[in-house]
Amino acid sequence: MEQPHRRQPLAGIKVIDLTRVLSGPFCTALLSDLGAEIIKVEPPSGDEYRYVGPFAQGESALFTLMNRNKKGIVADLKNPDHLARLLELVREADVLVENFKPGVAERLGVGFSAIKAINPDIIYASISGFGQQGELSGLPAYDLVVQGMSGIMSITGEPDGEPTKVGESIADLAAGLYASWAILAALFDRQRSGQGVHLDIAMLDCLFSLMPTPVAQWMFGGEAPGRVGNRHPLSTPFGSFNAVNGRVIIAVLNNRQFAALCTAMGQPELVQDERFGSDEARTRHEPELRDLIETWLSGHKVESAIASLAAAGIPASPVLEMGEVLARAQQGERRLLKTQQHHRLGEVPMMTQPVQASAWATPTPATAPVLGEHNAELFNP
């Protein structure tokens, strides 16, 4: 139950959600976690994510995760009556979010110009692969396409291996996160200026903005970076190392931490070795330092190595399997997964926004809507 003395920061904000699949639904799910009323508008066939597994009793896990807390209506925007009723909802809305391919919203009668004409204060967020204008704007874009074009695949993977995608749809999620951030900024700006705005969020731009390290490697005349595997391209030792029964993350960022590592390894004299006298020197001699660290780890299990490193004040961790992470997320103190009562499945674990705030209500996620569930309440004449 929501704590009576706590508040929902977006209570009273109404959002028309014309999005589907991942980037847009992730954006509006984050807004819903903060109390915004989200009206998800689907075509008669439904959001494509309803048909992407894994499934339980016909329910998509991905759709359920990304459409929590939302009301759902079905509208055929090519039907003039449906469009007219949707525009009536838009008149009372604060925000509209869409992730059609550029030009489609305009053709359907729900582009920014049409919406602004009936609701001048609207905050209108357009999420696309490559932006609303430009030579790439008309290209279809899924996450993997954007990962390939962003450069992130070229810096991910082993040095002698092929470019590798990030293990999640990071371009979609980055765009959804930036869109929610921009919408919040626009709501604050509207309080002061009294004006709405059209937000143009490109997946490619958002993913590029999450890569300051390769930009830093290039910006002062350096070469464009390549793949370095599981180590940091600029700091050493800062990566994944083999122990007896698994892999250990060791993250050393300065000379003080390196000295502590050398002492923990029983080799304090390494501090005086000119090959390892600075972060830059250690990075140049990364293979030699890796051999020394893994020789030490060859006598340790992951647990004992991490205990020794933690005692020395060195950031370190095991490389956990996803099953262990999920168990911690559900049972740990931070409760990154919360129980939701699903209309068909009973109790299921559910993601929610991760920020903890002293005066905000703790989100208790509600089930994603059945296709057209709220038509009678919100849409039917």
- CA dihedral sign of residues 285, 288, 292, 298: positive
Taking a C-beta distance cutoff of 8 angstroms, is the pair 151, 208 a contact?
yes
Q: What interhelical angle do 170-193 and 23-33 show, nearest 10?
A: 50
Taking a C-beta distance cutoff of 8 angstroms, is the pair 362, 372 a contact?
no
- At 153, which amino acid appears? M
Active site residue 232: yes
Of the listed 5, 82, 198, 232, which one is catalytic?
Answer: 232
Tokens 């490193």 belong to residue: 309
- CA dihedral sign of residues 336, 342, 345, 346: positive
- At 166, which amino acid appears? V
What's the gap between Cα 81 and its chain centre?
A: 36
Q: Which residues, 6 or more positions from 229, have their beta carbon under 8 angstroms from its beta carbon?
A: 157, 158, 159, 239
Taking a C-beta distance cutoff of 8 angstroms, is the pair 29, 183 a contact?
no
Annotated catalytic residues are 232
